[in-house]
Structure 1
Amino acid sequence: MEARRETPLGGTEGPHAAPGVWAIVQRWWRWAQEHWLLPVLALAALVRFYDLTAAAIWGDEGSSLLLSQYSLPNIWVHAAHDVHPPLYFMLLHGWIELFGDGIFSIRLLSALPGIATVWLGVWLMDLLATRRAALLTGFLLALLPTAVRYSQEVRMYSLLGLWLIGATIALIYWVRHPRHTRYLVAYTLLMVVAFYTHYFTALCVLCHWLYLGFIRVQPGYRLRHIQRPGWWLANVAIVLLYLPWVPNFIDLIQHMDQLKANGDVGWETPVTLGSLPSMLWSFLMQDDGETLPSLMFIAMPLAMLAIAGVALAHDRSVFRGSVLLVIYTALPLLLVFGVSFISPVFIERYLTAFALGLPMIVALAIDRLYSGFKVLALTVLVLFVGVELVGLKNNATVDTKDQISVMVDYVNRHFVTGDRIVTSDMLWYLSYVYYNRADAKPLLYTPPLATGASSRPNAYGFGTLVTQDIYLDNLGGLPKGSGRVWLIGTVDVPDEFAPLPAGWQRIDETHAGGANARLFVLH
């Protein structure tokens, strides 16, 4: 009898096996072992490119596009009056110069960093734990609904996640190799660009300092990195490189009342104790969870607390990577939640970069549970993925026929030379101008307040993006032109333009995406 030999895949090869088939299988197996990250990145790309152009440009995205139309020096000036630093808008300016302002192109600038961040998350976990934990991290990060959502918006949140995870990787390399200053140089540069992208980068700085403080005082082998001159010099360098922007930030803080008057800040509703679990549900399911049964509603924070406990309890490493991940994820969330009892800033998109730590902690816990509690580990994995899939479905529930773009297209097709277009609200205006193809500049209706004061935006927030000639204080002051006016307002809110001038007759109306367009003839 001929002997049967074991194959690298664990099977056996008999005399009648087809060597050519086995050779192909073995080659594919070796390729998968060497290139296991590619399917993860393909999944990340798939969910981010799916329906990338389905949702219409909304107000915040429209503000990004308006700001990016300025020259780079003027972007610096106007961003100083906006609620975000200038780097993203400068990058968007250059991106549009190269690739145009089509909706796929402009959202691609967010999708690509989102995909790259999945790769960085895998890299980070590969440094902190096992290859299995890294693979799980990539899979769960690829599906994270809040990361997918903000990889599909013309805003800076996806880019911020890229910078912060990259900086955290550089920090870990430096902790492991403190004599290699190149890691601190990389850390410094990444933190600087993060600060020029979003002010909440300061929360990441706190996380990194707290982590270094922890490993300095941990029982056993204590790491003194927080005392090293290189660390202090790196932070001084960050401050020095950010100094050109600091006067603008101080000026913005001093004019916070004007931002609140415009509604650019202070619009968030006050937080309650339920806001914290709601935020976690929003990260994972794109729903605040408030309609869920009470026990299920509070199960999320309790489950995440238990999962974090597992990740921390089984960490026997010198560098305590699980501590870094828990601090990175929990500290910003809890700190902003606490601050929001004074001034509400508990906003999902501002914290999405830190929510990237949630799937990493889950992956770490599953990896450590798997050795002794396989069924429990797989149960956690299935439940977490199930919640993420619900969130992805919520992300994708976009009715392409019920978008403001549909309404604007209707106006474009029925526009007659000489028609006037008036919007009732700044957010409608910001969306409308992107889709406007008519030969008329949309106007923004700003009637005097009941006190007689002007309702025009001031020079801060969205008000810095537009010129004074777009404001219309009195409908009766419109030049007659063709004798027709399109009023763009909110569906079921007919009094936004009331009272209309005498003799106006409505002859057409359409609505989509929560906005309506009414066409009036002036007699």
Structure 2
Amino acid sequence: MKKIFAWLDGHWWVVSLLSGIGVFVVTMLLSLGRSVWFDEGYSIYLAQQDLQSLLAFTAVDAHPPLYYIILKFWGELFGFSELALRSLSAIFAGLSVGLGLGLTKRLFGLRAGLMAIPVVVLAPFILRYGYEVRMYSLAALIGVAGTYSMILAMHTKKAIWWVLYAVLVALGMYTLYVSVVVWLAHLIWLAWHSSREKIPVRHWTWAWAYVGSVILFLPYMLTFFSQLLNSVLSGVGTEVTLTTLVDLFTIFFIFTPEWRVGGWESLVLGLVLVGLILATIIAFRRVEAEKRGYLYLYLGLIVVPMLVFAIMSLPPREAIFLPRYMAHVAVFVYLFIAVILSITVGSVRRRRVVYGLYMAVIFVFCYGVGVLAVGGNVIFEQIKTPMAKQISEQLQARELRCSDQVTVVADEPYFYIDSFFYYQDCDLYYYLDRDNDRRGGYAPLKNSQQYQIREASEINSRYLVHLHGEIVYMDVDERYELVERIEMDKQFADIYKLSIQQNN
């Protein structure tokens, strides 16, 4: 057994790589059959534009351009299929997990690294957003890489790691603005660590890394402030309340919002939470001083983001928090759980109790993966699962998806972007009785005005397919008769046929 552990210790990069591959495989399996939804559709829509248009549209949106640029070149290399596009995010997710395991083993030892493997490979939140065609997994990778670079800079005293850190901070800001919470957590921890070590402020060499990152971000600074002052947020965010925290806990553990959690699930989760709180207290009390400092680092990467989101969402400001905004720091949540359990199991007599808690955590995560496999990519703020793919397949089976005799109309720009990916081989129209917005997620549609319908009377095809949600904006005129309605989780496709009189 000692030889096995010695080999693992000396070849940890192999373990990390295999774990990352495991995350990639599980993530891609979970993505099969899942429909692209609005946010992903927007990413794909931008990636299919020329580079100049892509940069122009991101400049009037809420996010920076780096991920979209990478997605564009990836799509041009490997195609714009669901599998190809989602594999990019899954690769980033696998790399962030593998790198996180390497960092954890370096800071806390072999036991912590080994115990972290099943925790992160089965982490529901990582697996869910690991295949999202968005920037979350790339931001997570940059955050983990930045943390690792910071630690290497401190351990080796080599300036090259601070240079790399500065580059990664800038890349993080070019990827996802809220990645600033990671760099803020680092800044607080570095200041605390330097003060504890009684290093004079004038010798805080790490501060120059932040200066360098600001310089690297300067070319986009004006655009950033323009986006900040002209918010185009969707308005679906919430305040960070006690209910929000419970909701986040249940989503992280069993990928279920708190209002859907049943009695037995609540009992198990409650016991696990109590056990983890006790383990955290024991771990901080009994861990050696140096490792305690790194525990504070991991804890800070969880607490600081939540505090920032809580403060930013306080009235009278617009609430901005969504659970997925924690996706880029989720890996640290799961690694922290594994680390405190590894420290506790090595410092108490009743190890079986701690291992029992550890197995309970793994069981709960397996349950969460099962929920994810069955429920799919649920959009919690809308309380629905995207079904554009399935509706498109139903229309194809009826020969009503792409035909000269059929006009398919999305009820508004949201449904157009939500659905367009599955109608790229034919014309998809959208209803909007006014000009398109010049900022935000609908701005790219100004290049697609030929597909805009302002009045239902503009439609003259034999069949009309109307894609809409629970609220309907386009009134279909009396020339058309409703012959069938396809309904899937609050998403509808109404099939109309031109009346006989009109045909004549």
Q: Which band: TM-score by shorter chain?
A: 0.7 to 0.9
Asked if 1:477 is matched to 2:446, the reply is no
Q: Give the aligned partner of residue 428 of structure 1.
A: 415
Of the three residues 344, 348, 359, the one matched with 1:382 is 359
Any idea what the Cα deviations from partners look like across 1:344-376, whole Å, max 9, x if unmatched? Answer: 222111111222112222222122222223123
* Aligned positions of 1:257-406 closer than 5 A: 259=232, 264-290=233-259, 291-293=261-263, 303-318=275-290, 320-342=293-315, 343-371=318-346, 372=348, 373-398=350-375, 403-406=387-390
Aligned pair partner of 2:479 in 503, 517, 520 = 503
Which of 59, 73, 83 aligns to 2:38? It is: 59
Q: Counterparts of 1:226 and 1:182 in 2: how far apart (Å)?
A: 21
User: C-alpha separation between the residues in 1 aligned to 2:165 and 2:10?
Assistant: 31
Distance of aligned partners of 1:87 and 1:437 in 2 relative to their CA distance in 1, 3 Å threshold: closer
**Could you say what secondary structure the match of 2:258 adopts?**
coil
8 Å contact from structure 1 (residues 283, 348) kept in 2: no
Q: What corresponds to 1:84 in structure 2?
A: 63
Amino acid at match of 1:314: R
Asked whether the 8 Å contact 1:121–1:138 carries over to 2, the reply is no
Aligned partners of 2:285 and 2:70: how far apart in 1? 42
- CA RMSD of the aligned region, Å? 2.8
Distance of 1:47 and 1:164 partners within structure 2: 22
Deviations 1:292-346 (A, max 9, x none): 4577676666555444333332332436211111111111123313432333222
How far, CA to CA, are the matches of 2:359 and 2:228 in structure 1? Answer: 45
Residues 360-369 or 85-94, more deviating: 360-369
Whole-angstrom CA distance in 2 between matches of 1:506 and 1:280: 45
Change (3 A) 1:115 1:300: same
Comparing 338-347 and 195-204, the one that deviates more: 338-347
- Answering whether residue 199 of structure 2 is matched by residue 224 of structure 1, we say yes
Check 1:28–1:161 CA distance in 2 against 1; reply closer, same or farther (3 A cut).
closer
User: Contact (CA 8 Å) 1:120, 1:165: kept in 2 or not?
Assistant: yes
Alignment identity in percent?
A: 20
| Structure 2 partner of 1:114 | 93
Structure with the largest fraction of helix: 2
Deviations 1:207-250 (A, max 9, x none): 011111221333xxx15386436322211111111111111121
Question: Which of the residues 495, 498, 501 maps onto 1:519?
Answer: 495
Tell me whether 1:96 sits opposite 2:80 in the alignment: no
SS of corresponding position for 2:443: helix
Question: Aligned AA for 1:248?
Answer: T
Contact 1:133 1:363 in 2 (8 A): yes
Distance 2:497 2:33 in 1: 34
2:115 to 117, 131, 136: 136
Distance 1:74 1:120, change over 3 A: same
> Cα distance, 1:418 vs. partner?
4.5
TM-score in terms of structure 1 length: 0.84
- Unmatched runs of 5 consecutive residues or more in structure 1: 1-8, 11-25, 448-453
Distance 1:363 1:92, change over 3 A: same
- CA drift at 1:197: 0.6
Contact 1:161–1:354 (8 Å) recurs in 2:
yes
CA change 1:339–1:49 in 2 (3 A) is: same
Q: Partner of 1:443 in structure 2?
A: 429
The CA distance in 2 between the partners of 1:462 and 1:129, in whole Å, is 43
Change (3 A) 1:470 1:252: farther
Taking the aligned partners of 1:147 and 1:513, their CA distance within structure 2 comes to: 24
Q: 1:29 to 1:518 in 2, by over 3 A?
A: same
Distance in 1 (alpha carbons) for counterparts of 2:142 and 2:241: 31
AA matched with 2:237:
E
SS at 2:177 equivalent:
coil
Q: 1:337 to 1:304 in 2, by over 3 A?
A: farther
Structure 1 counterpart SS, 2:205: helix
- Tell me the distance in 1 between the aligned counterparts of 2:411 and 2:456: 11
Letter in 2 for 1:368: I
Q: How does 1:249-260 map to 2 (within 5 A)?
A: 249-256=224-231, 259=232
Contact 1:315 1:322 in 2 (8 A): no
* Structure 1 position 439, deviation (Å): 3.2
Q: Distance in 1 between matches of 2:492 and 2:167?
A: 47
**2:219 partner amino acid:** P
Secondary structure class of the residue paired with 2:19: helix
In 1, the alpha carbon distance for the partners of 2:353 and 2:417 equals 49
| Residue 166 (structure 2) aligns with | 188
Aligned partner of 1:3 in structure 2 is: none
2:136 is aligned, of 149, 154, 157, to 157
Equivalent-residue separation in structure 2 for 1:359 and 1:277 (angstroms): 16
Distance 1:136 1:430, change over 3 A: same
> Are the equivalent residues in 1 in contact too, given 2:309–2:321 (CA < 8 A)?
yes
- Is contact 2:46-2:444 (8 Å) kept? yes
